[in-house]
Amino acid sequence: MSSSRMALELEFLQKFKLYETRSKFYMIGRNKSDTLYRVLKIDRLDPSEINIREDPATYSKNECDDLLKRVDEGNKSTGGLKCVTVCYGIVGFIKFLGPYYMLIITKRRKVGLICGHMVYGVSKSEIIALPNSTVQSNMDYSKNENRYKKLLCTVDLTKDFFFSYSYHVMRSLQKNISDGETGGVPYETMFVWNEFLTRGIRNHLRNTLWTVALVYGFFKQAKLTVSGRDFRLTLIARRSRHYAGTRYLKRGVNEKGRVANDVETEQIVSEDVAEGCPAQVSSVVQNRGSIPLFWSQETSRLNIRPDIILLKKDQDYEATRLHFQNLAKRYGNPIIILNLIKTRERKPRESILRAEFANAIEFINKDLSDDSRLRFLHWDLHKHSRSKATNVLALLGRVAEYALNLTGFFYCQVTPELITQESSNCSHLESVEDGDWFRHCDNKVENVSNSEKGHGEDIGVAGGNHSMKSSMLQKGVLRTNCIDCLDRTNVAQYAYGLAALGHQLLALGFIGIPKVDLDAPLANDLMRLYEKMGDTLAFQYGGSAAHNKIFSERRGQWKAATQSQEFFRTLQRYYSNAYMDAEKQDAINVFLGYFQPQQGKPALWQLDSDQHYNVGRHVHAEDNARSLFKRSLSDGNILCESRTPMSTTNIGQKKLDNPAMPERTEGGGSKGLSDSTPEISTCESDLSYSRYTPTMTRRQLFTEMQSNLVYFNEDTSNCSNFVDLEWLSSSGNSCEEESYERSALLNSPVVGTSTENVVNGIMVEITSIPSEDGSSIMVGICFN
């Protein structure tokens, strides 16, 4: 075997056996082809620290067998060498109040294949105490120790965790192929949930041979057909470990700009080809996350819909700014925000956040260049989903087309050489910071126009002999939110995925136009995948499956059955939030290292709120590079590092360095957007209108706009980046909430008169025009 081939084979240890003697654990790791073996030794005599040593030698199977025999013979007096279990990687190490424990994967299952790289799910895991039985018998096991251990085990690794030995599944396909980064598995990224648990062994060994990087969220792959041709569609959701938790215990944004329920969704389309042949692949990424403001809802066992509390502690929206800086750093510009929350309510709840969110975006945009300004789109999905005259998915599809036109998507023809290059150099540990997601690609991918016009040109890839069509990159991202970022958000993400699928299949040459009809069988196949993803993400954050009323109606499900299902899920979510979420949040915080137990300190369940230890007294796992473990200078052991109090970050003084979103200038002010931002109404379900948005292309946002009613300003320099899509569809609803809103409008001085409204320098005239049925149509016109 050549040295280069041997080095590549060694990069990925995929199967392991754990042996024990009285004094040590021996973990034997081997590569996929069963040709190379490595040995890891873990001391079992000292319960207060971890001693790990990696044998630098590489063994063959026979050599490894001989080594084990010698170890067995040398320990005959104390019981010899015994096989504990077969395993498939180390999840990490953890200490509560007593000994250290090792978490390992003992069963795995194949869940998919990406560019020739296998992706696995966890079928079974075990937690093993490191000290031997003699040492353990001399230790005082307290009730708290056992309770912490039990709490950790409630994080079920067999549900929704996935990993790969050779593919960086925590990163998008575009980043993996086009970034040009080499080095170790990027555990420090926001989507690796066992970063804290593996930090000690990674820092000590300086490699990631023995551990697996677990991503939490959703992974599903399906073989679909269009025009008689098969292709593979992969849907991935990656949940952020930052500010992670449950519905009412994690809301909004924290001081560092991290938001609750932050999930990256990637849709990969690839053609089925024989192994070793070039294959076309395409991916598109979108994002969901809680509204990046300081707000909360108190968990209540008496109120199924607790009040929304908006905190006014961030008048300059610094945390909101940090959040969007991070998005721009990860995905590039533009950042398009689709806000689906309610506009008007009898008792203001969501509408409070709607107004404040609009104010925040307007405030932040004042300091940004035209190219990096945030695009803010608002549409009350709840209201229009209750109207029989509104085709919600069709209208959301138009929004998706607009976003895709701005961001583009990723397309590349992957060669065997490119796959091999991306598989290499993974044994050496390299710290990869969050951010810098989007870069200009190197010679492996040619950056061309984001339109389909670039296809058909041949360029070389990765120095190989294959030729390929011109590649494309996604620049920017669509960020969707509602209140929970579960139910309405998932519907919008499906609409975006369907619109993107048309473009992806066109790029692959499978169809002739960039569109998949809503009534096509392929659209139903995709809807089932997104529905399953929505249910999975909803269980993780909300405690029940998602409310899929729109999907159910689309399938023609009996209305009474749909209503019964929705009612049951509402009760299930309420029960989980009121009675189960506190313990679930505690388990997440222990697993992620956000709470680390200490002797003589209050136990986790004695604290009133996890906010007490998220910042302040306890070390935050994402900030301390070596909390819990450190390397001893004397003997190379891994010791427990003292946990010193940590002051909260002053985000007003320390800001992200991101040229894509410059910092706010001194003295910048903003009057902000009022809740009465002008909207455009129509009584015809097939008409849709929108105010003009600056820095957009001069193409109309929706192809079916009536140009005789809405006129666009050609000068984009003085227009706002806020687009209210609230009156996209028919307002002719019979529901109680819609009647209330319409009566409020009819009683306002706007109807029947011509009123000029100035919103942040935009002159908008709202005029009442009689329609054919005698009702009025509200029309907005943008002037200089």
Question: Residue 56: is the preceding peptide bond cis (ω within 30°)?
Answer: no
Q: How far is 506 from 271, CA to CA, in rounded Å?
A: 12
DSSP-derived 3-state class of residue 184: coil
- The predicted pLDDT at position 747 comes to 41
Task: Residue 15: name the closest of 120, 97, 112 by CA.
Answer: 120
Q: What angle do CA 545, 549, 554 make, to 5 degrees?
A: 120
Beta-strand (E) ranges in 347-482? 375-378, 410-414, 459-460, 467-468, 477-481
Q: How far apart are CA 765 and CA 783, in angstroms?
A: 8
- The dihedral over CA atoms of 438, 440, 441, 445, expressed in degrees to the nearest 10, equals 100
Nearest CA to 26 out of 102, 95, 98 is that of 102
Residues 126-146 have a mean pLDDT of 78
The 10s digit of each residue's pLDDT in 467-522 is 457 889 999 999 999 999 988 999 999 999 999 999 999 999 999 999 999 999 99
Count the neighbouring beta carbons within 10 Å of the beta carbon of residue 699. 9
What per-residue confidence (pLDDT) applies to 383? Answer: 85
Sequence letter at residue 80? G
Among the listed ranges 76-80, 283-287, 614-618, 760-764, which one has the minimum average pLDDT value?
A: 760-764
pLDDT of residue 183: 58
401, 499 contact by CB (below 8 A): yes
In sequence order, the β-bridge partners of residue 52 are 42
Q: Calculate what percentage of the chain has a pLDDT beyond 90.
A: 49
CA distances from 444 to 138, 251, 278, 467 (A): 59, 41, 14, 12
Residues ≥6 apart with Cβ < 8 Å to 133: none
Quote the CA–CA distance of 323 and 544 in Å, as a whole number: 28
Cα three-residue angle 54-57-63, rounded to 5 degrees: 115
Nearest to 233 by CA among 225, 217, 221: 221
CA atoms of 332 and 285, how far apart (whole Å)? 12
Task: Judge whether residue 680 has pLDDT over 70.
Answer: no
For residues 745 and 268, what is the distance between their CA atoms, to the nearest angstrom? 45
What number is the average pLDDT over the span 586-608? 90
Give the mean model confidence (pLDDT) for residues 225-249.
94
Per-residue pLDDT for 84 more than 50? yes
What pLDDT shows up at residue 28?
97
Gap between the Cα atoms of 392 and 491, Å rounded: 9
Q: In terms of Cα–Cα distance, which of 424, 423, 469, 476 is closest to 445?
A: 469
**How far from the centroid of its chain's Cα atoms is residue 581's Cα?**
21
152-162 burial, b if ≥16 CB within 10 A, otherwise e? Answer: beebebeebbb
Question: Under DSSP, is residue 315 helix (H, G, I), strand (E, B) or coil?
Answer: coil
Backbone φ and ψ of 612, nearest 5°:
-70, -25
* Average pLDDT of the chain to the nearest whole number: 75
Would you state the structure tokens that stand for residue 246, as one six-digit string? 């449950």
The answer to which of 324-328, 349-353, 414-418, 640-644 has the lowest mean pLDDT is 640-644
* Distance, CA of 510 to CA of 769 (rounded, Å): 46
Higher pLDDT, residue 640 or 235? 235
pLDDT above 90 (res 10): no
Q: Which one has a higher pLDDT value, 274 or 645?
A: 274
Question: What pLDDT does 681 receive?
Answer: 30
| Residues 88-115 pLDDT 10s | 999 999 999 988 999 999 999 999 999 9
- pLDDT value of residue 446: 37
* Bigger pLDDT: 529 vs 758: 529
The mean-pLDDT minimum among 47-56, 287-296, 664-673 falls in 664-673
Whose CA is closest to 346, among 77, 741, 711, 667?
741
Span 771-780, average pLDDT: 37
Secondary element (H or E) of residue 133: helix 133-137
Instruction: Give pLDDT, residue 560.
Output: 77
Query: Which phi and psi angles does 309 have, rounded to 5°?
Result: -110, 115
Mean pLDDT, residues 458-470: 42
**What is the three-class DSSP state of 418?**
helix
b vs e for 736-766, b when ≥16 Cβ sit within 10 Å of the residue's Cβ?
A: ebbeebbeebeeeebeeeeeeeebbebebeb
Mean pLDDT of 180-206: 86
Instruction: Encode pLDDT of 408-430 as tens digits.
Output: 999 998 876 555 555 444 433 33
Specify burial of residue 470 (Cβ count, 10 A radius: 0-12, 13-18, 19+): buried
So what's the pLDDT on residue 420?
52
pLDDT tens figures, 138-171: 555 688 889 999 999 999 999 999 999 999 999 9
What is the sign of the dihedral through the CA atoms of 539, 544, 545 and 548?
Answer: negative
Cα separation of 80 and 333, whole Å? 61
User: Which residue carries 């998919």 as its tokens?
Assistant: 112
Q: By C-alpha distance, which of 506, 522, 485, 483 is closest to 401? A: 506
Q: State the Cα–Cα distance between residues 726 and 131, nearest whole angstrom.
A: 62
What DSSP designation does 169 have?
Answer: T
Give the residue among 160, 218, 281 at the shortest CA–CA distance from 529: 218
Q: Residue 767 corresponds to which tokens in the numbers above? A: 């005029």
Sheet architecture: strand order including 762-770: 755-759, 762-770, 776-783
Q: Are 594 and 621 in contact (CB under 8 A)?
A: yes
Over range 294-302, report the average pLDDT.
Answer: 81
Reduced to 3 states, what is the DSSP secondary structure of residue 67?
Answer: helix
Phi, psi values for residue 746, rounded to 5°: -65, -30
Count of other CB atoms within 10 angstroms of residue 72: 15
- In angstroms, the CA 194 to CA 201 distance is 12
Q: What is the DSSP letter of 579?
A: I
What's the rounded Cα separation, in Å, for the pair 372 and 357? 18
DSSP string for 262-303: -EEEEEEEEE---TTS-EEEEEEEEEE---SSSEEE---SS-
The answer to whether residue 644 scores a pLDDT higher than 60 is no
Give the residue-averaged pLDDT of 165-184.
Answer: 84
* pLDDT reported for residue 137: 53
pLDDT, residue 141, reads: 63
Per cent of the chain over pLDDT 70 is 67
Q: How confident is the model at residue 124 (pLDDT cuts 50, 70, 90)?
A: very high
Q: Which two tokens stand for residue 245?
A: 């938790």
pLDDT in tens, 690-746: 333 333 333 444 433 333 222 223 233 333 466 666 544 433 333 334 344 434 433
Predicted local confidence at residue 168, as pLDDT: 95
